[in-house]
Amino acid sequence: MKKNFKTVFILAVLAVLGGVNVYNSQSETDMSDIALANVEALADDDEYFESKWNIYHYTLDNGTPAHNCWSGGSTNCL
């Protein structure tokens, strides 16, 4: 009887410690200033992608219109 009580008590303590550990790991963390600045820069399409691509329009041999893009022009290529 004494051995069963010790086993149950140890398992209960481990379960409580595991639950506390899971609860503490779910806390919200704030983003660093650098990470937040990166997210804002990527979200701001007008400034980040402005004058990024040049576009060259041409027609394929079968008559299908096509285009190529390279760095340094407008955002219309995307």
* Separation CA 44–CA 48 (nearest Å): 6
Distance CA 78, CA 44 (A): 15
Distance in angstroms between the alpha carbons of the first and the last residue of the chain: 74
Rounded CA gap, 16 and 26, in Å? 16
* 78 residues of the chain, pLDDT tens digit each: 778 889 999 999 999 999 988 888 877 667 778 887 777 777 765 554 444 566 777 888 898 888 777 766 555 565
pTM above 0.85, yes or no: no
**Collapsed DSSP state (helix, strand, coil) of residue 29:** coil
